């Protein structure tokens, strides 16, 4: 193994961040170079590459065509659910994006306008995102598994001039009509969306609202291509909503300059990828992984990116990932551990792998949730390639901690995403803001300023940004994760410090689910906790106390609650069950002991907090859980 240059690179990024990132920025095409690499004149807000002017779409597409990469595949759409494989060269993708950008122009979209993209995993979704970037419009992609109510919240916050949507998505073999969800969201939202452009898919035609809705294909046919609009490095490229501690999602803002620089740099340094190679992030464009590593980073780097409309299992079998790797010559795959747990369950001996030629496959990257050592070892032993656990979040947009393949890998420690990526100073802090000793679990924070590409603020909400991320540990950004560092400096990310849970690599707020449950007319109070699940890592479990005098049966109430969460948050919440209990355990000050309930449900040891109001309630909870088969045995 070549000697790692990680330590030296990391030190350089810490000692001279401006010089470090200025050097990385040379790899981007600038219409005008920056005045200042780093500008913190408006503390605590900091900006990268102020004065710089560029276009992210130009850097992702046109630059490669201009420099002779036009015939190389840029995007390969592989959709087992529709039986389609379609490739776009860089030239073809650039032309499709330019036409789509012209179509946006025809709808009156200008630089700075917001466009919501509520689409399944089809090439038009990627084209739409890049088309927004091309004309300086700000896209906000909403994951298809969210229901109308969640979409409505995002419409109200981002106030889009236009929504781009598809008639349906396809989940294994079920067609999910998207249009009724979109219509429902527009009805619910206070902001009235003036225009929608709908991609009609053959699996399900959508009914159009006269005067408001237009047909994608007709509008594209009538459009003329639009050129790239230079934007400020600090202008927003997109808004991506993510779960916070309440039911109100946070609008994470991404800029153009810092994002392009950091993402392109990460493709080489973290993922070890070069131009012309094939990269596949098996995620969804609705999540940050999809934004960064299906769309922007691979294209900025000149790679071929795979867009997969399918699942790890069931489309049609647990060999789906290996088929794609073999057929498209994938060099690196990025997915969530949950996908591997699903494959492992159906094909424990990895027999499907042996049917495919995986010779070009070099590295597996896992993120999105804690990677359990079993899954890591299973993948390593069968694939016989390095398996890299890495840690990051929507807010940062690219990895905070990783074993940087492009800098030369460090020894792997199962359960750890290794060390901080150059650009990030990661600290494990106690409640008193002091750094904790190795082995001690604390709140994981990043020293300010954040690396380029990380969120500069929340959409229209500077105060919310400060309150959520900067208030807890002065001079630091709060990641919301808890964990520790070992004697060798390796990080271990163990849990969240807030009420966010991670279900199949999807970040969800239990607070949002509690809001839905407590709105049910029979519910007096409730709590939702994440309990261990063999495949999804965690799934939500509700506890409800009914109002006095409610005589209806538990099964009926629970069925209604499950339906309500599905209807108001979406199927992605995977909220399948709740328990009716007599009382909830609380502290004397009235705080519900969710952590203790979780430990009981998972069969873990716990000590009742000294401040508990009535310890007898814990026995009631244990009994109620036991009657429903908790703790589960895997
Ligand atoms: N549109 C509409 N519905 C969707 C959807 C979408 N884009 N994505 C998921 N759903 C639905 C699913 O059909 C499912 O519905 P159901 O309750 O009726 O069965 C529900 O939302 C939960 O979906 P999911 O959590 O994906 O569970 P699953 O059982 O369908 O699949 C895995 C489980 C592990 C195979 C799947 O989660 C997976 O492939 N994960 C890969 C990791 C990943 O993409 N992580 C994202 C961040 S990297
Ligand atoms: P998201 O913003 O949806 O990408 O979710 C980010 C959160 O997922 C993080 O804050 C962590 O809680 C969790 N997470 C992501 N990657 C990892 C990892 N490698 N190990 C542990 N937790 C992770």
Burial of 632 (0-12, 13-18, 19+ CB in 10 A): middle
Structural domain contains residue 497: no
For residues 471 and 433, the answer to whether their CB atoms sit within 8 Å is no
Query: In angstroms, rounded to a whole number, what is the distance separating the alpha carbons of residues 183 and 403?
Result: 44
Structural domain contains residue 73: yes
Query: In angstroms, rounded to a whole number, what is the distance separating the alpha carbons of residues 281 and 297?
Result: 11
What CATH number does the domain containing 241 carry? 3.40.50.12780
Q: Is 368 in the pocket of ligand 2 (CB under 6 A)?
A: yes
Provide the 3-class DSSP secondary structure of residue 114.
strand
Number of domains in the chain: 2
Q: Is 242 in the pocket of ligand 2 (CB under 6 A)?
A: yes
Closest residue by CA, ligand 1 atom 32: 339
For residues 78 and 308, the answer to whether their CB atoms sit within 8 Å is yes
Give the model confidence (pLDDT) of 547-556 as tens digits.
Answer: 999 999 999 9
What CATH number does the domain containing 516 carry? 3.30.300.30
Structural domain contains residue 119: yes
Same-domain check for residues 135 and 12: yes
HEC sequence for 385-452: CCEEECECCCCCCCCCEECCHHHCCCCCCCCCCCEECCCCCEEEECCCCCECCCCCCEEEEEECCCCC
Same-domain check for residues 418 and 539: no
Nearest ligand by distance to the CA of 503: 1
What lies within 8 Å, CB to CB, of 349 at 6+ separation is none
Give the model confidence (pLDDT) of 446-495 as tens digits.
Answer: 999 999 999 999 999 999 999 999 999 999 999 999 999 999 999 999 99
HEC sequence for 552-563: CCHHHHHHHHHH
Query: In angstroms, rounded to a whole number, what is the distance separating the alpha carbons of residues 48 and 454?
Result: 10
Same-domain check for residues 457 and 574: no
Query: In angstroms, rounded to a whole number, what is the distance separating the alpha carbons of residues 375 and 609?
Result: 34
Q: Is 542 in the pocket of ligand 2 (CB under 6 A)?
A: no
Same-domain check for residues 137 and 82: yes
Q: Is 496 in the pocket of ligand 2 (CB under 6 A)?
A: yes
Query: In angstroms, rounded to a whole number, what is the distance separating the alpha carbons of residues 544 and 522?
Result: 9
Same-domain check for residues 32 and 158: yes
Same-domain check for residues 132 and 256: yes
Burial of 82 (0-12, 13-18, 19+ CB in 10 A): middle
Q: For a substitution probing ligand 1, which of 574, 575, 576 has the most ligand atoms within 8 Å of its CB?
A: 574
Closest residue by CA, ligand 2 atom 4: 393
Structural domain contains residue 60: yes
Structural domain contains residue 294: yes
Q: What are residue 401's DSSP bridge partners? A: 391, 420
Same-domain check for residues 479 and 516: no
Structural domain contains residue 333: no
Structural domain contains residue 362: no
Strands, E, within 510-547: which ranges?
523-533, 537-546
Same-domain check for residues 402 and 510: no
Query: In angstroms, rounded to a whole number, what is the distance separating the alpha carbons of residues 544 and 583?
Result: 8
CA of 493 to the centre of ligand 2 (A): 8
- Domain housing 131: 5-310+390-483
Same-domain check for residues 468 and 512: no
Structural domain contains residue 495: no
Edge to edge, the sheet with strand 195-199 lists: 213-215, 195-199, 162-166, 114-118, 138-141, 236-242, 250-255
Please identify, among 483, 516, 537, the residue that sits at the C-terminal boundary of a domain.
483
Report which ligand 1 atom has the smallest distance to the Cα of 314: 35
**pLDDT-flagged residues of the chain (< 50):** none
Distances (CA, A) of 602 to 248, 476, 531, 576: 28, 33, 6, 17
HEC sequence for 200-255: CECCECCCCCCCCEEEHHHHHHCCCCCCCCCEECCCEEEEEEECCCCCCCEEEEEE
Query: In angstroms, rounded to a whole number, what is the distance separating the alpha carbons of residues 244 and 260?
Result: 26
Which candidate, 605, 569, 572, places its Cα nearest to that of 502? 572
Same-domain check for residues 190 and 55: yes
Q: For a substitution probing ligand 2, which of 481, 494, 499 has the most ligand atoms within 8 Å of its CB?
A: 481
Nearest ligand by distance to the CA of 318: 1
State residue 1's pLDDT score: 57
**Global pTM value:** 0.96
Closest residue by CA, ligand 1 atom 45: 505
Query: In angstroms, rounded to a whole number, what is the distance separating the alpha carbons of residues 468 and 104?
Result: 34
Q: Residue count of the chain, please give it.
A: 634
CA of 153 to the centre of ligand 1 (A): 21
Same-domain check for residues 447 and 568: no
Nearest ligand by distance to the CA of 502: 2
Same-domain check for residues 536 and 608: yes
Nearest ligand by distance to the CA of 282: 1
């Amino acid at each position: 193994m070549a000697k790692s240059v990680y330590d030296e690179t990391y030190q350089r990024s810490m000692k001279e961040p401006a010089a470090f990132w200025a050097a990385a920025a040379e790899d981007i095409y600038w219409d005008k170079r920056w005045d200042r690499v780093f500008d913190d004149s408006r503390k605590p807000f900091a900006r990268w590459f102020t004065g710089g002017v560029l276009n992210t779409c130009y850097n992702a597409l046109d630059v490669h065509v201009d420099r002779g990469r036009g015939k190389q595949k840029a995007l390969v759409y592989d959709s087992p659910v529709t039986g389609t494989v379609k490739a776009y060269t860089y030239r073809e993708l650039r032309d499709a994006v330019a036409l789509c950008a012209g179509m946006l122009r025809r709808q009156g979209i200008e630089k700075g306008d917001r466009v919501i993209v509520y689409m399944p995993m089809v090439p038009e979704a990627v084209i739409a995102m890049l088309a927004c970037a091309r004309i300086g419009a700000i896209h906000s992609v909403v994951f298809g598994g969210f229901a109308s109510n969640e979409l409505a919240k995002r419409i109200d916050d981002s106030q889009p001039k236009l929504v781009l949507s598809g008639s349906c998505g396809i989940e294994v073999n079920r067609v999910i009509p998207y249009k009724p969800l979109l219509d429902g969201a527009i009805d619910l939202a206070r902001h009235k969306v003036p225009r929608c452009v709908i991609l009609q898919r053959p699996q399900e035609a959508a009914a159009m609202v006269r005067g408001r809705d237009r047909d994608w294909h007709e509008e594209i046919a009538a459009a003329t291509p639009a050129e790239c609009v230079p934007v400020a490095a600090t202008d927003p490229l997109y808004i991506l909503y993510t779960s916070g501690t309440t039911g109100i999602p946070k609008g994470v803002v991404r800029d153009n300059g810092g994002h392009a620089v950091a993402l392109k740099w990460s493709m080489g340094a973290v993922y070890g990828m070069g131009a012309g190679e094939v990269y596949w992030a098996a995620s969804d464009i609705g999540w940050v992984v999809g934004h960064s590593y299906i769309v922007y980073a691979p294209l900025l780097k000149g790679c071929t990116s795979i867009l997969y409309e399918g699942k790890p299992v069931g489309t049609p079998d647990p060999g789906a990932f290996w088929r794609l790797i073999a057929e498209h010559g994938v060099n690196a795959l990025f997915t969530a551990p949950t996908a591997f747990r699903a494959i492992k369950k159906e094909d424990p001996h990895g027999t499907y792998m042996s049917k495919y030629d995986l010779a070009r496959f070099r590295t597996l990257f896992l993120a999105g949730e804690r990677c359990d050592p079993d899954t890591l070892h299973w993948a390593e032993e069968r694939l016989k390639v390095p398996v890299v656990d890495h840690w990051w979040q929507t807010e940062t947009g690219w990895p905070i901690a990783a074993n940087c393949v492009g800098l030369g890998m460090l020894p792997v420690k199962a359960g750890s995403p290794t060390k901080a990526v150059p650009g990030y100073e990661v600290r494990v802090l106690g409640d008193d803001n002091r750094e904790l000793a190795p082995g001690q679990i604390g709140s994981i924070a990043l020293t300010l300023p954040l690396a380029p590409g990380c969120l500069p603020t929340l959409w229209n909400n500077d105060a919310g940004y400060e309150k959520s991320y900067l208030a807890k540990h002065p001079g630091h950004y709060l990641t919301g994760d808890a964990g520790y560092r070992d004697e060798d400096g390796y990080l271990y990310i163990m849990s969240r410090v807030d009420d966010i849970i991670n279900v199949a690599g999807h970040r969800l707020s239990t607070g949002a689910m509690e809001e839905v449950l407590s709105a049910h007319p029979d519910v007096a109070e409730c709590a939702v906790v994440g309990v261990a699940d063999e495949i999804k890592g965690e799934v939500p479990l509700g506890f409800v106390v009914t109002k006095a005098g409610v005589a209806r049966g538990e099964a009926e109430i629970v069925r209604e609650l499950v339906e309500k969460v599905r209807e108001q948050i979406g199927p992605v919440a995977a909220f399948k069950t709740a328990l009716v209990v007599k009382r909830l355990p609380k502290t004397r000050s009235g705080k519900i002991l969710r952590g203790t309930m979780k430990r009981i449900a998972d069969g873990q040891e716990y000590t009742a907090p000294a401040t508990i109001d009535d310890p007898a309630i814990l026995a009631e909870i244990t009994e109620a859980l036991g009657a429903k088969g908790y703790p589960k045995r895997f």
